[in-house]
Amino acid sequence: MTTLTRGQVLQIIETARVKGETPELFGTGLAEAEALRADLGGAKLNKIEILRAKFSGADLLRANLGGVDFRGAELIGANLSQANLSRADLSGTNLYMANLSEADLGEANVSGAKLVRANLTYANLNQANLSRANLRSADCSKADFSQVDLREANLKRANLNQANLKEANLRAATYDQATAWPANFDPSQTGAIRED
């Protein structure tokens, strides 16, 4: 696997855009790289390794990130709206205030990730693993959490209004009075724990 610097990544992206092509970085390693505030919108970054990389503020709008290994990466304030993150490994990733609206996170591993104040409206998280994830004050309205593992997740102050929680595992997930649940949903029946 080739490991690229931030400058090399940005050069590949710029060259592709000048040619009117979609930037592609298949099988590339970006471990511990920095692409702060980089515009990677629409890029194809399938199956690359981005371990502990810093992509804070990066624009990844509609990027194809399926199967990407983001473990421990920083994506603070990153725009991942409409991105394909299906089967990606986002475990331990810092997604504070990231925009994941309409993103596809189906079957992704998001365990232990920091999603504080993240925007997950209309996101698809079907069958994803969000165990021990911190979703405090996250906007998850109208998101699909069907068959999601939310065990021990922090849902305090989270907005889950109109979210699909069918068959979601909420055992030992914590919530408070400010957590907004879908209409007629009783979290106490799911094993979730209220902590005010």
**Model pLDDT for residues 120-163, shown as the tens digit of each residue:** 999 999 999 999 999 999 999 999 999 999 999 999 999 999 99
Lowest mean pLDDT across 70-74, 79-83, 96-100: 70-74
- Would you state the pLDDT for residue 58? 85
How is residue 33 written in tokens?
A: 């790289």
Tell me which residue range forms the domain holding 39.
Answer: 1-196
Lowest mean pLDDT across 23-32, 49-58, 142-151: 23-32
Number of domains in the chain: 1
SS3 144: strand
- Would you state the pLDDT for residue 68? 87
Measured between alpha carbons, how far is 137 from 101 in angstroms, rounded to an integer? 15
- Would you state the pLDDT for residue 16? 62
Burial classification of residue 117, based on how many CB atoms lie within 10 Å of its CB (0-12 exposed, 13-18 middle, 19 or more buried): middle
- Would you state the pLDDT for residue 27? 47
SS3 159: strand
- Write down the mean pLDDT value for the chain: 85
More confident: 180 or 66: 180
Structure confidence at residue 21 as a pLDDT band (50, 70, 90): low
**Residue 139's CATH number:** 2.160.20.80
Of residues 38, 95, 107, 101, the one with CA closest to residue 66: 107
